[in-house]
Amino acid sequence: MRKRAKFIYLISPNKINSNFYRELKKVLKTNKVKFFQLRLKKISNNKIIKISRKIKKICKEFKVKFIINDSPLISLKVGADGCHLGQSDMDIENARKIIKKKIIGVTCHNSLKKAKEAITKKADYIAIGAFHKSTTKKTKYKATLKDLKRIRILTKKPIIAIGGINEYNYKKLLLNKADFLAISSFIWKNKKLKPVQAIKILK
């Protein structure tokens, strides 16, 4: 069987403690992660910048693209590989002025219209979801495999599937042409498995 290329878009836990960096190294060492997104809410920009600088070094060591959630300005300041924008964040054109040719990804929920708009505005990837109930954030929009297929027809740009992805449902998304799987809780909040054990299950 052919070894699968890096297919995980790993999202950070909501809180970063001192053990996290050691765990992140072990997880990235498995060579399954293409992107790592730092997603921290309700903490100061200074603290995010401090954490980002440590994570950036680890990502560089394992050749993983480092993405900052929400803020193109922090992304620029720390020299990240790009930023991820939600629908209520800065629009793509303004973000592009700040981070130039670096990666910009956009959450499009389950909307064909939003996906078309992101493609027109030259987003580098499109995130679709939630496919399953997530423990990381409230599931406001529900996406289906039909939504994934419709958006796949529109573009060759990478599509990232989001929402409650685990060892039981991940293969179906890959089989239906999702390029990457955004995963957080299954790795960081798994009650049965340590982060490195959890990621090794996904093949």
Contact 84, 69 (CB under 8 A): yes
pLDDT average, residue stretch 137-164? 91
Q: What is the pLDDT of residue 5?
A: 85
- The pLDDT of residue 181 is above 50: yes
pLDDT average, residue stretch 137-144? 81
pLDDT average, residue stretch 74-88? 97
- The pLDDT of residue 155 is above 80: yes
Integer Cα distance of 22 and 107 in angstroms: 29
Integer Cα distance of 156 and 159 in angstroms: 8
DSSP characters for 1-52?
-PPPPP-EEEE--SS--TTHHHHHHHHHTTS-EEEEEE---SS-HHHHHHHH
Average pLDDT, the chain: 95
Burial class (CB in 10 A: 0-12, 13-18, 19+), 145: middle
- The pLDDT of residue 61 is above 70: yes
Q: What is the pLDDT of residue 137?
A: 64
Q: Please name each of the domains of the chain with its CATH number.
A: 8-201 (3.20.20.70)
Contact 155, 115 (CB under 8 A): yes
Q: What is the pLDDT of residue 22?
A: 97
Q: What is the pLDDT of residue 140?
A: 79
124-140 confidence digits (pLDDT tens): 999 999 999 877 666 67
Integer Cα distance of 36 and 23 in angstroms: 13
**Around Cβ 14, how many Cβ atoms within 10 Å?**
16
E-strand spans in the chain?
8-11, 33-38, 65-69, 82-85, 103-107, 125-128, 159-161, 180-183
99-115 confidence digits (pLDDT tens): 999 999 999 999 999 99
Q: Which residue has the tokens 């049965």?
A: 192
Contact 69, 52 (CB under 8 A): no
**Around Cβ 189, how many Cβ atoms within 10 Å?**
13
